[in-house]
Amino acid sequence: MLSTKELKAGDEFYFKQVFDQYHQKLYFFILYKTKSEYIAEEVAQMAFTKLWQCRQTLHEEYTVSTQLFRIATTVLIDFLRKYNNKNAVTAPLDAVDIDEGVDSTNEKMQGVELQKKISEAVNELPPVRKQVFEMSREQGMSHREIAASLSVSSRTVETHIYKALKQIRKHISVETD
């Protein structure tokens, strides 16, 4: 069993042993959760990078594998949040059907119109939900940061964002029908 002592001491050879022993297991763990080879590889690499960067703060009472998989889980959650935040903003724009030969001015008008509809929908959100949504999407804050800032649970933040996105999508689809 690999211990954290050598890792905390900055032993690069030991870190390579940890990498060799756990990279494939970690990759398949993430692949199982996400069904994405790209995300699995990215998150695995980020987890090992974070393990090395945070090696001084590792707890000796826990095994390296336990701490590595905890780090990987946290990295995966952060990765998916950032990915989902990006997609939530760009997905409506990606959905705009652009035919070849369409006047670019027309495309820009559609994009501006869609952004206007999104802004209208955000302005119609209840005050707290609007605040949570803007902190997440405009300020780029994580759910944990928002929860701490507003003295609510992360689950409450997730619920507000879910309901905000649902309301915005509904507003956009009603407007475009």
Q: Is 104 exposed, middle or buried (0-12, 13-18, 19+ CB in 10 A)?
A: exposed
pTM of the model: 0.48
- Please say whether the beta carbons of 163 and 129 come within 8 A: yes
What is the structure's pLDDT at 44?
A: 92
Closest CA to 117 of 161, 45, 171: 171
- The mean pLDDT of 13-39, rounded to a whole number, is 89
What is the structure's pLDDT at 23?
A: 92
Q: Which residue has the higher pLDDT, 25 or 87?
A: 25
- The mean pLDDT of 89-102, rounded to a whole number, is 49
The span from the CA of 135 to the CA of 166, in Å, is 17
Asked if the model's pLDDT at residue 39 lies above 50, the reply is yes
Q: Which residue has the higher pLDDT, 117 or 131?
A: 131
Q: Which residue has the higher pLDDT, 85 or 98?
A: 85
What is the structure's pLDDT at 55?
A: 87
Asked if the model's pLDDT at residue 120 lies above 90, the reply is no
Going from the N-terminus, what domains does the chain have, and what CATH number goes with each? 5-81 (1.10.1740.10), 95-176 (1.10.10.10)
127-174 tens-digit pLDDT? 888 888 888 887 788 888 888 988 888 889 889 888 888 888 888 776
